[in-house]
Every structure is written in structure tokens, then in C-alpha cells.
């Protein structure tokens, strides 16, 4: 691009240029693709519980509301969960996409509220389907077990190691004693690019 100076032939002209560059930083990826999303507003869907302490609805104890909307999944929505009730909440089958560049990552993000006794905890687990044997593998613990949090908080677990696999995800509720409950809402599995 040029600047026409013919009009100023006998006059001294000082030209100045100003380049304004605005840098914005964010923890939001340049591009994110939803692989799986569930907010439980449509009910339980294909989620299921092993050992049955999970319920869907609006809690009447703890925060007394879901993170968003009127439905979330939790262990006994109106009070304390019973002792000795280890129970995973298991997702539907999810086909994870293959990562095509080193800049891509798969993340499981979800909102949770929980109040655990000192001996109780929650753990995210993944189970991979083996097409050769047509069986599910063993449950693998991923991320850090949670032991207490009395407000809604966003959790993020990197699932990039499972790219290209068919998986199920579980929220494993481990109980020795009893106390309050745990809630999950707004579960999202995304491909960050």
C-alpha cells in the first residue's frame, strides 16, 4: 500500500505510521469440537450405575440445586449416601476421535459438587473396548481422586492417551463410611485444536 505525496511537492512532509497490535490471551482453545455432551436435562439416557446409589433430579440437600438447569446426577439427592456403597456411574459408549496433530488434545470437563467423609473419595475411570477379543478391558484410574469440595467446581481430565479408542467413562464413588453426597452436571468431552 502506498501514500500519494504529489500534492505536497514543495512542502516538507513527515510521515508517521502507527501499528496497533492487540494481544488477547485466553485458556479457550482456538477450536474445540464437542465429542460428547450431557447435562442430564433429558434424563438418565444410556448412563447406568453399578450398585445403584446414583439418582437423577434436583438435589434437596448440599447445594440444593444443579450447576445448570434442573437435572443433575448424584448419590442420594436428598441426603447422605449409605456406608459401604462403592458405585460407578458409567457413561454410554463413546468413540473417541484420533488426534491428527500434536496441537490436539482430548479433555473430559465436568462440573461437580461433593462432600466426602475422610475415608471416602471420587475417581474418574476409563474402560477401553478391545475389538480383537470383543471385550471391555479393566477400568483404569485417571486424574486425581477427589476427597472434598463443598461448592460447584469445574474439573478437567486429559484423555488424549485414549484417542482413537472406544471407551466408557465412570465416576467411581468409593465409600467406607457415610456423609453427604456427590453431584455431577454439564459433562463435556471435547477435542481441543
CATH number of the domain that 117 lies in? Answer: 2.60.120.200
17 in any annotated domain? no
* pLDDT score at 147: 65
**What is the percent of the chain where pLDDT is above 70?**
75
* pLDDT score at 28: 44
Which residue range(s) make up the domain with 105?
Answer: 34-192
pLDDT tens across 63-89, in order?
888 899 999 888 888 877 777 778 889
DSSP assignment letter at 82: P
Please say if the pLDDT value at position 132 is more than 50. yes
26 in any annotated domain? no
Measure the CA–CA gap between 187 and 112, rounded to whole angstroms. 9
Measure the CA–CA gap between 102 and 108, rounded to whole angstroms. 18
156 in any annotated domain? yes
Lowest mean pLDDT among 2-6, 49-53, 124-128, 144-148: 2-6
23 in any annotated domain? no
Please say if the pLDDT value at position 135 is more than 90. yes
4 in any annotated domain? no
How many domains does the chain divide into?
1
* pLDDT score at 29: 46
Q: Is 174 helix (H, G, I), strand (E, B) or coil?
A: strand
Q: What angle do CA 44, 51, 184 make, to 5 degrees?
A: 45
CA distances in angstroms from 174 to 7, 10, 75, 150, listed in the order given: 82, 86, 11, 17
pLDDT tens across 86-131, in order?
888 999 999 999 999 998 999 999 888 877 666 677 889 999 999 9
Cβ density class 122-141: b for 16+ within 10 Å, e for less: bbbbbbeeeeeeeeeeebee
Q: If you average pLDDT over residues 132-157, what whole number do you get? A: 86
58 in any annotated domain? yes
Predicted TM-score (pTM) of the model is 0.77
Please say if the pLDDT value at position 192 is more than 80. no
Find out whether 77 and 160 touch, Cβ atoms under 8 Å: no
24 in any annotated domain? no
11 in any annotated domain? no
Amino acid at each position: 500500500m502506498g501514500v500519494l505525496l504529489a500534492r505536497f511537492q514543495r512542502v516538507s512532509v513527515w510521515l508517521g505510521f502507527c501499528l496497533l497490535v492487540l494481544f488477547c490471551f485466553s485458556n479457550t482453545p482456538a477450536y474445540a469440537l464437542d465429542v460428547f455432551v450431557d447435562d442430564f436435562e433429558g434424563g438418565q439416557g444410556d448412563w447406568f450405575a453399578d450398585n445403584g446409589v446414583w439418582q437423577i433430579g434436583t438435589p434437596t440437600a448440599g447445594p440444593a440445586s444443579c450447576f445448570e438447569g434442573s437435572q443433575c446426577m448424584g448419590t442420594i439427592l436428598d441426603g447422605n449416601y449409605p456406608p459401604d456403597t462403592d458405585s460407578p456411574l458409567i457413561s454410554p459408549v463413546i468413540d473417541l476421535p484420533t488426534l491428527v496433530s500434536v496441537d490436539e488434545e482430548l479433555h473430559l470437563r465436568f462440573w461437580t459438587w461433593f462432600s466426602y467423609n475422610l475415608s471416602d473419595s471420587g475417581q474418574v475411570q476409563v474402560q477401553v473396548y478391545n475389538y480383537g477379543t470383543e471385550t471391555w478391558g479393566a477400568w483404569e484410574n485417571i486424574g486425581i481422586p477427589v476427597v472434598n469440595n463443598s461448592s460447584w467446581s469445574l474439573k478437567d481430565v486429559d484423555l488424549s492417551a485414549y484417542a482413537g479408542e472406544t471407551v466408557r467413562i465412570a465416576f467411581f464413588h468409593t465409600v467406607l463410611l457415610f456423609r453427604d453426597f456427590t453431584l455431577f452436571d454439564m459433562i463435556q468431552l471435547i477435542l481441543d485444536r
